[in-house]
Structure 1
């Protein structure tokens, strides 16, 4: 697998280099030189394959030689040891549940796969420095990365999250791991956390002192496994004779929907994608005006989507050759307020008896908005990206009482929490890293 920077198509690096040096020096993002098309026979027979079998075929085609098929198969079997079921609410509406992994969020797909890819490739590295993984999180990424890398030899993870802007359950998932996992509460926004991580990669002194890589969706090893569940969802629908599908995707940093669009480029026949955002509406405004104007992130109920300048948007524009007219043919974006979000949660519970986290509720609202203007014979599948138990403060008492809280969340309360606190100045973060090698 060869990759180039979105800022320089003449730059070519290996998969290994893109994994360990996740951000090109020109501040673009890595993209595959070629996105392979899967065979039409494989697509037609997707209903005959399991999630793990689908993941192996997709990963083999994307990654190529760096990891032999047998090793890749073992890696996938270990990483993806949970399911992602499609649950029907009515004849034309379904939800793809992506929260059945250990951290109860869709980020488990990317984090667990990436951690094992890094561990595998590190065996052949001549550089014996600890692999320092930096990750900025607006909520769920950090918890998934923490559990994905917990106890992985030769790695050390530093998680940056916005102080006071993640849920109590999310914060406990970030700060109660110890071992090789460290958490820093940044007195700012997710965008500030993301900026600190990017500045660290571009700092020569840190690059010399550490073996740095990222676990955010800017890392191509996070993006690849997120394609798997789109194929798997299609396979489940195909078993019921359904082929005409619209996916509605909760969108913050736009890695999730970016992976779906890569799956489409590989041959997955998707009718349309809906990018569902909260009040951080940079992308919906762009698709309406053709003017891309990032703004400071706004705190909302759907905190994992509180991103004012989504990193992965440049990947999506790259997929469509920076042609917004082509993009609009495949993607429609919606923005919803906190009031809308509460309404979506109430509607899902009242109409279907289904309890959705705020991010999932926003995706549901996008499907309803799209169906109203685009009637037809298709199935709208919205992605459930996190278990509702992670957001107890969002729900009214009646719904909160009906949530079945998994044991791994109940046990968090008894675990000690440990975190550092820093401001948004890069020098402060840099000095902390150097002092805590």
Structure 2
């Protein structure tokens, strides 16, 4: 399997080259040269496969022997060593809970696969890597935990000061060792811009082995396709027709992974791109005009992205056609007030606890199914406890703690939003 750039000006890359570089030289994003449809027998028997078995079937064509099959199976088993249950919330509405991993967020799947794949390649080459990542909340904690203590790999995480939850911040700033957290005086878009500039800077490229752990890295994104298959495998067979999947969306890696799952043959009829006030993509779907905007801070902070990187991949999957994309994807956006009301109302009716991101996904699914026949899955992307201050106000119940940071000391540095400061830091490091 070869990987090409969405900008079409870089040479084809192997799986190893694509994940080690993170970004192509032309500032595009890597995409697989082909997305092969999986066999009919796999879909016929999908109910009988375990989560790691499904994971191997989905990922193996994209790795294509660059990691030996036996090692790849071990990597996937280690990556997916927690459950991803499908939970019925209302008739014909299900929650796919992606928060049962070590950092209680969906990004554990991609981060753990990427960490283990990079570790395999770095051990073979004996070259030290520096993983550079920007986060709007959950990516940083998942990457920090996934790479913590991995030999030959240093991690530098950029996060926007004051714009993520206490729980998220503590998860990525209390580790130390090979994990460095930089608290940027700016927005997530500033952090993401600095990371992209780093990968295009000739001096940094010559001096350091840089790679990315954001969803701009194809090995972070591809494993996220796995849980779409596992979600469908858990839904009753008689409810798999006219299936709609609602994806709370920020940088749109998760939705891109779902679209790839669909091209692999997964029977999903329609996707919903659900955002908070950062509604760049829903507006594009409505108007056919893409207008990047400055990100706005919301209670669903992991989706506070005004210029999502993975929109390039979405466009690429549809050959630039707005009409074709709109036929498969409907966009919605919701305010903080609507998000809070959804948490409150769903709990009062069902005792199910939504986090702010899952609430946005639920709202989109509910609105879509009001006017159209079908069954739906929304992605519950983070544990509600990560946003306990917000959630507890709406459900009037204290959530039991999932992890305590009381004895852990924060280790992070206040940092400029200027690329020159990041470059100097990396070269000195």
Quick check: TM above 0.5? Answer: yes
Q: Distance in 1 between matches of 2:174 and 2:23?
A: 28
The alignment of Structure 1 onto Structure 2 pairs a total of residues equal to 429
Q: Aligned residue for 2:176?
A: 178
Q: Aligned residue for 2:99?
A: 99
Counterpart selection for 1:395 from 383, 391, 397 = 391
In the alignment, is the contact (CA less than 8 A) between 2:36 and 2:264 conserved in 1? yes
Task: Tell me how far 1:242 sits from its aligned partner.
Answer: 3.4
Q: Distance in 1 between matches of 2:121 and 2:384?
A: 35
Task: Tell me how far 1:350 sits from its aligned partner.
Answer: 1.1
Task: Tell me how far 1:124 sits from its aligned partner.
Answer: 2.2
Distance 1:215 1:400, change over 3 A: farther
Task: Tell me how far 1:96 sits from its aligned partner.
Answer: 0.2
Matched, 1:423 2:419: no
Q: Which deviates further from its counterpart, 341-350 or 14-23?
A: 341-350
Q: Aligned residue for 2:33?
A: 33
Matched, 1:12 2:21: no
Q: TM-score, normalised by structure 2?
A: 0.98
In the alignment, is the contact (CA less than 8 A) between 1:175 and 1:417 conserved in 2? yes
In the alignment, is the contact (CA less than 8 A) between 2:340 and 2:394 conserved in 1? no
Q: Aligned residue for 1:381?
A: 377
Q: Which runs of structure 2 are paired with 1:254-333 in the superposition (5 Å)?
A: 254-333=252-331
Q: Aligned residue for 2:338?
A: 340
Q: Distance in 2 between matches of 1:201 and 1:336?
A: 34
CA RMSD of the aligned region, Å? Answer: 1.3
Distance 1:58 1:297, change over 3 A: same
In the alignment, is the contact (CA less than 8 A) between 1:341 and 1:358 conserved in 2? yes
Cα offsets for 1:357-396 (capped at 9, x unmatched): 100000000011101121x2x2211000000111122134
Unaligned runs of 5+ in 1: none
In the alignment, is the contact (CA less than 8 A) between 1:129 and 1:210 conserved in 2? no
Q: Distance in 2 between matches of 1:427 and 1:182?
A: 18
Q: Aligned residue for 1:189?
A: 187
Q: Distance in 2 between matches of 1:34 and 1:295?
A: 32
Q: Distance in 2 between matches of 1:171 and 1:75?
A: 27
Q: Aligned residue for 1:364?
A: 362
Q: Distance in 2 between matches of 1:400 and 1:16?
A: 49
Q: Distance in 2 between matches of 1:397 and 1:283?
A: 30
Counterpart selection for 2:425 from 410, 415, 432 = 432
Q: TM-score, normalised by structure 1?
A: 0.96
Task: Tell me how far 1:432 sits from its aligned partner.
Answer: 1.4
Distance 1:239 1:47, change over 3 A: farther
In the alignment, is the contact (CA less than 8 A) between 1:38 and 1:61 conserved in 2? no
Task: Tell me how far 1:402 sits from its aligned partner.
Answer: 4.1
Aligned structure 1 segments of 4 or more residues deviating by more than 3 angstroms: 238-244
Task: Tell me how far 1:11 sits from its aligned partner.
Answer: 2.9
Q: Which runs of structure 2 are paired with 1:136-175 in the superposition (5 Å)?
A: 136-175=134-173
SS of match in other structure, 2:31: strand
Q: Aligned residue for 2:84?
A: 84
Q: Aligned residue for 1:413?
A: 406
Task: Tell me how far 1:138 sits from its aligned partner.
Answer: 0.2
In the alignment, is the contact (CA less than 8 A) between 1:47 and 1:238 conserved in 2? no
SS of match in other structure, 1:333: strand
Counterpart selection for 2:213 from 212, 215, 237 = 215
Q: Aligned residue for 2:222?
A: 224
SS of match in other structure, 2:210: strand
Unaligned runs of 5+ in 2: none
In the alignment, is the contact (CA less than 8 A) between 2:244 and 2:271 conserved in 1? yes
Matched, 1:404 2:397: no
Q: Aligned residue for 1:45?
A: 45
Q: Aligned residue for 2:120?
A: 120
SS of match in other structure, 2:235: helix
Q: Which deviates further from its counterpart, 133-142 or 83-92?
A: 83-92
Distance 1:90 1:257, change over 3 A: same
Q: Distance in 2 between matches of 1:168 and 1:434?
A: 30
In the alignment, is the contact (CA less than 8 A) between 1:114 and 1:221 conserved in 2? yes
Q: Distance in 2 between matches of 1:250 and 1:398?
A: 20
Task: Tell me how far 1:175 sits from its aligned partner.
Answer: 0.3
Task: Tell me how far 1:78 sits from its aligned partner.
Answer: 1.1
